[in-house]
Amino acid sequence: MTTYLVTGGAGFIGSNHIRYLLNKYKDVKVINLDKLTYAGNPENLSDFADDSRYRFVKGDICDEPLVNQLMEEADVVVNFAAESHVDRSIGSPDDFIKTDIFGAFVLLEAARRTHIDRFIQISTDEVYGSIDKGSFVETDTLMPSSPYSASKTGADRIAFSYFVTYGVPVQITRCSNNFGPFHYPEKLIPLFVTNAIEDKPLPIYGDGLNVRDWIYVEDHCDGIDFVHRHGELGEVYNLGGDNEKTNMEITDYILKKLEKPETLKQYVKDRPGHDRRYSLNCERMHALGWKPKHDFEQAMDKTIQWYLENPEWWQKIKSGEYLEYYKEQYEKR
Ligand code: NAD
Ligand code: DAU
């Protein structure tokens, strides 16, 4: 029996990862430690509420006594907990520094004192910064350009230092942009899909030609599990979807699929410090025998269908504090 401590498991990727683990493995226990910030939603895992293998703990990864206590039970830690939205990090970086850097440090310190089998730090392709041509390999220089990506870089390198200095069995994954069910509707794809469904404008930053590499969330979860089973300790693994698209291409795809007019496109002021292009070289994972399994268009269609079938999930989110946040964003532009 393996016990996983998954942090940030009430968010988008964390909840998908817990579902992936519980569906794939019978003999696992999962403890989900999540602070339930605006982005955390325990309903994302309501299908496992009665599963004796799953336990939810509301708490902060910066809470040392709580983390120490949970670490005693854990064999494997997967650290997803983070403030994750670049735009919010530009407006107020404080929580990014606290959670993404200090929180990771608290977890690593607890792991250092306990005999855990694995500590997987979920990093991001944004740590490399922007690249005009070619793709980043794992050994490239890190040049993060937003408070979010700089915080994630801090955690990424602190995790590495705990492997080198203290022998904590760390692995680090750097994934590209995820999409899929339970994605908080402040990020490009869920925002544009839900706005289009509601005939609201789709706010395109700048010229809409920034490029992101998109991966279906289940492939990210599969990649993390693959790294755990087949990767080396102390290594970094790029996880990409091999689907580089401009934001305009994503916008056009969504509008076409939902049969909505081009007039919903609204050009707005650019994001400050907006990275032009992210691109990963994933040869290291390919050489180990891993590749994403999902076709981009099929996964996009499945995702759009999920938002069409689950309006109660996102409509509840897109009210109250969310609307206040967006009003403030637009006033700033
Ligand atoms: P998310 O914002 O949807 O979820 C983050 C979760 O962390 C939420 O449930 C939130 O309540 C929780 N959390 C925040 N602060 C916490 C704290 N102090 N203690 C405990 N829990 C806390 O984010 P996501 O998109 O699911 O991303 C998850 C992780 O994956 C992040 O580390 C992010 O950097 C990384 N990542 C995301 C992507 C992507 O495309 N979304 C790509 C690569 C890497
Ligand atoms: O690359 C991995 C990263 O992807 C993760 O580490 C982050 O946690 C995650 O939020 C995501 O960051 P991005 O900034 O790439 O994602 P976002 O969905 O915010 O934006 C994607 C692109 O779309 C980016 O070029 C900005 C643009 N955009 C975004 C929004 C929300 C718009 O044009 N309009 C919008 O309203």
Print pLDDT tens along the chain (333 aa): 999 999 999 999 999 999 999 999 999 999 999 999 999 999 999 999 999 999 999 999 999 999 999 999 999 999 999 999 999 999 999 999 999 999 999 999 999 999 899 999 999 999 999 999 999 999 999 999 999 999 999 999 999 999 999 999 999 999 999 999 999 999 999 999 999 999 999 999 999 999 999 999 999 999 999 999 999 999 999 999 999 999 999 999 999 999 999 999 999 999 999 999 999 999 999 999 999 999 999 999 999 999 999 999 999 999 877 777 766 766 665
Give residue 319's pLDDT: 87
DSSP-derived letter for residue 198 is: T
CA distance 238 to 220: 10
CA of 16, closest atom in ligand 1: 26
Instruction: Decide yes or no: CATH 3.40.50.970 for domain 2-178+215-239.
Output: no
Q: Give which of 145, 176, 151, 161 is closest to 279, Cα–Cα.
A: 176
Ligand having the closest approach to the CA of 57: 1
Task: Check pocket membership of 176 for ligand 2, CB cut-off 6 A.
Answer: yes
CA distance 69 to 128: 34
Give residue 322's pLDDT: 76
CA distance 194 to 254: 10
Residue of minimum CA distance from atom 10 in ligand 2: 85
Residue of minimum CA distance from atom 28 in ligand 1: 80
> What residue spans define the domains of the chain?
2-178+215-239
3-class DSSP assignment, residue 221: helix
The pTM assigned to this predicted structure is 0.98
Q: How far is CA 219 from CA 1, 49, 104, in A?
A: 24, 24, 24
Angle subtended at Cα 221 by Cα 256 and Cα 118, rounded to the nearest 5 degrees: 160
CA distance 149 to 129: 8
CA of 187 to the centre of ligand 2 (A): 6
Ligand having the closest approach to the CA of 239: 1
CA distance 175 to 152: 12
95 given a catalytic annotation = no
Q: How far is CA 190 from CA 59, 79, 311, in A?
A: 27, 23, 12
Give residue 195's pLDDT: 98
